[in-house]
Structure 1
Amino acid sequence: MNRPDEAQRTEQVRFERRGAAGVVILDRPKAINSLTLAMVRAMIAQLQQWRTDDEVALVAITGAGEKGLCAGGDVVAMRAGVLAGGRGRAEAMEFWEREYDLDALIAHYPKPVVAFMDGATMGGGIGIAGHASHRLVTERSKIAMPETIIGFFPDVGGLHLLAQAPGEIGTHLALTGATITGADAVAVGIADVLVHSTRLPQVLEDLAGGQAPALAELGSTGHPAPILAQRTWIDACYAGDDPVAILSRLRDYDGEEAEQAHEAAALIESRSPFSVSVTLRAIRNARRFANLDAVLEQDRVLARAFADEPDFREGVRALLVDKDKNPTWRHASLSEVPTAEVDAAFVR
């Protein structure tokens, strides 16, 4: 029998006990379960309670509705808070701090955490799912770290995952914000196994028995991953630390996959030049960092910098508030972003 098990009540996320499983259900389906401060606080409180509860053998993270697990943080609310100043800005900053705390809690949780990355799992959704011990995707999964689209940067420890992807695939995904399939996510290390969506209810029921099954028993990893077929042009174009040079190579690429390279160039040109420049520096740093915690510390520093960044406010406005999809970025091109401004973003 399912029963509520809530350490801190909120209408936006539910907690249930199903046998020996503690189940987190993100419950904002109309917003594709985008995360709010109340949701993050509640999840931290409940996970802290379950970690010392001997009756809870494992945790499952799921999302209500058919669209996806989680589309990310509620950046419209974050933008509004920053613009309001005072308490609103303080709550926006607390959201990022607590969100990163939650990501670290999941990554270091002493019990198995099974994340159901069905449908859209993006941005903050990667934070709560991509660091789980068991990461399931389906044929319906749409995976992305799309923050440069809104003048932000790939946070929630996402660069820790992307930095470990084969070749320069992670750099491509970080700079463009491109969406990949569930099979792609397995291939690049963001997920572990692809399970057909029709099997998910049975998997969740099986978890109630208290034993996290071996990943090999849940599905298979042999599905075609389109992103791997693009490594020739991706690895050739995205090498190095200079975003201007990367964009130039993408524009000028004349191999068999020239059209894909040129499309990537167009995507990067449409993103915030400041965001792209900072993101490239950040993912190169992430390659050198020893662990996820170091990347999350970088995220905390960068989030504070971006809170007052005009491109963040403008990007969210254009994509999600006015929805004209025509942002006016602070810099006209990547070549106009001063190195000193990028350096400053990384200063605590």
Structure 2
Amino acid sequence: MPLRAKVTNPAFTATAAMSTNIPKELPTDEPDDVLFNSIYGIRSVELNRPKKLNSLNGSMARKIFPRLKEWEKSSLANMILISGAGEKALCAGGDVAALAKQNAEGLEGQQASTSFFALEYALDHMIATYPKPVISFMDGITMGGGVGLSMHAPFRIATERTVFAMPETTIGFFPDVGGSFFLPRLDGETGTYLALTSERLKGVQTLYAGIATHYLHSSVLANVTQRLSELTFPDHVELPERLHTVNKTMAEFSLGLPPLEEEPMLMAGSLRTAIDRCFAFNTVEEIFQALEQETEHKEWAQKTLETLSSRSPTSLKVTLRQLRLGKKWSISETFKREHAISAHFMRHPDFVEGVNARLVSKPPRQAEWQPATLKEVSDEAVEEFFKIPEGEERLSLFSNGDYKSYPHAHFALPTEKEIEQVVRQGHASRRPVVDHFLEKYAHREGVRRKVVEVIARKTSKTAEGGLKWN
């Protein structure tokens, strides 16, 4: 009988303070909003609010916590699978309409909303540091809270139905659920671009961007689940080897990536260079200025300016500051800091106004932000979001794991930084660099495309004919 894997990865060392009071279900919680199942070695968590696109609420989180803790200790539970009921969504986010309604009731409601974020972030952190393989089926809409349940798992499976976005600036909020951690760690300024604009990525684009680790057709997910459930691990097999086995098993079910002629990489080539060029600044005003001066992709820049101009000025400035600071935060620090930021937003008028304008009003209307312009949002006002008031308790986490970079990042496609390091070692042509990554990543689908695109965009020929990183 397989035993729980010993956690020898130093990334999971105990550096975060841990609470032992695991949240429990309340008598008032909704029945059956999460379904749990055991299929041989798999323990599944199915979000079950399909009419609400499986949006996450406190009732669901309180049900999931004790199950994850129970499965962590069980020698029969080999891995965790997270999915959503129906064909439309894994999870479209947190139930922000309910939170905004709560907030409008005053201080007590704002505190209740802040308590929900404490639950949500602690759950995301538990998944991020879980000592067994976690697989998320990002089949359908995966936004906001759904991203928090997925992005920190070692395996994030996109399908042709996946729609990813962090749409928080549209509702007067900020890209939370660990966005401070994963967005700045995406290639170049793509994380900044996705965070500020709420741009959507569909299907295979999430694989290219580093959001998903695998791309499978939705028709094979049931077979994947069955096959994974049959995996067994000898007692001595530790977590890294288990993860490797899961990774290899899922690759067996790939039906191939869409041809580039049909679905070219969107954040690639000269457009990707423009994204890096325009979003590299540390103030929102400078980003606006760069977009106004953009000539190579003028139409894209104009559309992006229009998008940003409709967003909450406070959200834009707080989000940019969050991403720049988040590059240095550990995973546990991320959720603690985000909890303090979310509490501040619950007291800010833009959140209720943004949710009502975008999600409650029929038809949706343009929100009336307070303040209404970037100029009116002072640096001092932004910094207030990042202050932790004296005597205020920080978020309690229910796992003591911590790290500053994802220990499972190698299950996604190679990053631009990895490719740069290999190119800088000196190579006569593109081929040895591509071959290096194909071998390293066991010829995983998408590796060749990613490496070839990065080389084409970021390198030139030396006088001697070799590759030079620009």
TM-score normalised by L of structure 1: 0.93
Equivalent residue number for residue 293 of structure 2? 252
Counterpart check, 1:303 vs 2:324: no
Assess if the C-alpha contact under 8 Å between 2:168 and 2:175 holds in 1. Answer: yes
Assess if the C-alpha contact under 8 Å between 1:161 and 1:189 holds in 2. Answer: no
SS at match of 1:143: strand
Alignment of 1:126-275 (within 5 A): 126-210=147-231, 212-214=246-248, 215-219=250-254, 224-229=264-269, 230-255=271-296, 257-275=297-315
Q: Give, in whole Å, the separation in 1 of the partners of 2:209 and 2:328.
A: 18
Assess if the C-alpha contact under 8 Å between 2:159 and 2:215 holds in 1. Answer: yes
Partner AA of 1:311 in structure 2: D
Counterpart check, 1:329 vs 2:382: no
Partner AA of 1:259 in structure 2: E
SS at match of 1:139: coil
Q: Give, in whole Å, the separation in 2 of the partners of 1:266 and 1:102.
A: 35
Q: Deviations over 1:146-182 (max 9, x none)?
A: 1000000000002311111111111000001111123
Instruction: List alignment gaps of at least 5 residues for structure 2.
Output: 1-23, 233-245, 259-263, 389-470
Q: Give, in whole Å, the separation in 2 of the partners of 1:250 and 1:275.
A: 19
Q: Deviations over 1:89-146 (max 9, x none)?
A: 3331111001000000001111111100011000010000111111100111100111
Counterpart check, 1:318 vs 2:357: yes
Partner AA of 1:60 in structure 2: L
Partner AA of 2:285 in structure 1: V
Alignment of 1:110-121 (within 5 A): 110-121=131-142
| Farther off after superposition, 88-97 or 190-199 | 88-97
Equivalent residue number for residue 66 of structure 2? 45
Q: Give, in whole Å, the separation in 1 of the partners of 2:167 and 2:68.
A: 27
In the alignment, which of 67, 78, 96 is matched to residue 117 of structure 2?
96
Deviation of 1:227 after TM superposition, in Å, equals 1.8
The alignment's C-alpha RMSD in Å is: 1.7
Deviation of 1:251 after TM superposition, in Å, equals 2.3
| Farther off after superposition, 188-197 or 102-111 | 188-197
Structure 1 residues 277 and 218: alpha-carbon distance in aligned structure 2, compared to 1, 3 A threshold: farther
Deviation of 1:258 after TM superposition, in Å, equals 1.6
Equivalent residue number for residue 287 of structure 1? 327
Q: Give, in whole Å, the separation in 1 of the partners of 2:127 and 2:102.
A: 26
Structure 1 residues 153 and 173: alpha-carbon distance in aligned structure 2, compared to 1, 3 A threshold: same
Alignment: residue pair count:
340
Assess if the C-alpha contact under 8 Å between 2:32 and 2:48 holds in 1. Answer: yes
Q: Give, in whole Å, the separation in 2 of the partners of 1:112 and 1:207.
A: 11
Equivalent residue number for residue 34 of structure 2? 13
- Indicate the structure with greater helix content: 1
Deviation of 1:222 after TM superposition, in Å, equals 6.0
Q: Give, in whole Å, the separation in 1 of the partners of 2:372 and 2:109.
A: 30
Structure 1 residues 12 and 174: alpha-carbon distance in aligned structure 2, compared to 1, 3 A threshold: same
TM-score normalised by L of structure 2: 0.70
Structure 1 residues 277 and 86: alpha-carbon distance in aligned structure 2, compared to 1, 3 A threshold: closer
SS at match of 1:226: coil
Structure 1 residues 286 and 217: alpha-carbon distance in aligned structure 2, compared to 1, 3 A threshold: farther
Instruction: List alignment gaps of at least 5 residues for structure 1.
Output: 1-6
Assess if the C-alpha contact under 8 Å between 2:110 and 2:347 holds in 1. Answer: no
Q: Deviations over 1:237-279 (max 9, x none)?
A: 1112110110121122111x22112111111110000000000
Q: Give, in whole Å, the separation in 2 of the partners of 1:274 and 1:132.
A: 30
SS at match of 2:327: helix
Assess if the C-alpha contact under 8 Å between 2:310 and 2:366 holds in 1. Answer: no
Partner AA of 1:164 in structure 2: R
Assess if the C-alpha contact under 8 Å between 2:44 and 2:80 holds in 1. Answer: yes
Deviation of 1:325 after TM superposition, in Å, equals 2.3
Partner AA of 1:239 in structure 2: A
Q: Give, in whole Å, the separation in 2 of the partners of 1:90 and 1:337.
A: 24
Partner AA of 1:250 in structure 2: L
Q: Give, in whole Å, the separation in 2 of the partners of 1:158 and 1:225.
A: 23
| Farther off after superposition, 318-327 or 240-249 | 318-327
Assess if the C-alpha contact under 8 Å between 1:22 and 1:56 holds in 2. Answer: yes
Counterpart check, 1:77 vs 2:98: yes
Q: Give, in whole Å, the separation in 2 of the partners of 1:251 and 1:60.
A: 45
